[in-house]
Copies of this chain bind each other. A is one copy, B any other.
Amino acid sequence: MSGSSADSDTRMSAAQHEMVELFMHFGHNLGLPKSVGAIYGLLYATAEPLSLDAIVTILQISKGSASQGLRFLQNLNAVQVVYLPGQRRDHFTAERRLRKLANGFLRERVEPHLEHGADRLDRIGDAIDPDDPNAVHLKKNLERLRNWYRKSRQILPLVRNVIG
């Protein structure tokens, strides 16, 4: 009813397939589930927004996976909902601007860990027993770690600058 050629709604072209695999592998690198990479890859390689149902059919994954994966991608600002007039279903499209994508990723997946790490460093400091013969060594290397955190924080704006 909606597609132009017979099965443009149910099958990927070879190039789309390659894109799906590219993003699956890339996502896997970053510790994301395969389904998330696949969904993003498909949307990236498709001009028109796709419904959840189309994604399920084309990628042959379960509705549950698709639903969770899409939510995840929306939280990252990697996918947007497009409301098509007269269409009941939500449709989804990939955010293709690297700046937006990287920002989402840094905000959701990198910064929280940096925060958390800084807290942990404080906890280590508190846990050093002054009587421990190792105390001097521990203090010195804790300082060194704080330095690492300082540097990783410096890198963030730099990255934003290059990709902006």
User: Within residues 117 to 164 of chain A, which ones have a CB less than 8 A from any CB in chain B?
Assistant: 117, 120-121, 123-124, 127-129, 132-134, 137-138, 141, 144-145, 147-148, 151, 154-155, 158-159, 162-163
Cross-chain contact B47 with A14 (CB below 8 angstroms) = no
Q: Is A29 an interface residue (CB 8 A)?
A: yes
Contact B120 A21 (CB under 8 A): yes
Taken residue by residue from 1 to 33, chain A's Cβ proximity to chain B (1 for < 8 Å, 0 otherwise) reads as 000110000000111111101100110010100
Separation of A15 and B137 alpha carbons in the complex (Å): 11
Q: Please give the count of copies of this chain that the complex contains.
A: 2
Q: Using Cβ atoms and an 8 Å threshold, which residues of chain B touch A137?
A: 46-47
A116 vs B163: C-alpha distance when bound (angstroms): 21
Q: Are B120 and A18 touching (Cβ within 8 A)?
A: yes
Given contacts A14-B127, A148-B98, A162-B151, contact A141 B21 (CB under 8 A): no
Residues of B within 8 A of A158 (CB): 155, 158-159, 162
Inter-chain CA distance A144–B98, complex, in Å, is 9
Q: Are B29 and A113 in contact (CB under 8 A)?
A: yes
Query: Can you pick out 20 interface pairs between chain A and chain B where the beta carbons lie within 8 Å of each other?
Result: A4-B133, A13-B127, A13-B134, A14-B127, A15-B134, A15-B138, A16-B138, A18-B120, A18-B123, A18-B127, A19-B138, A44-B141, A45-B138, A96-B144, A98-B147, A98-B148, A151-B163, A155-B158, A158-B158, A158-B162
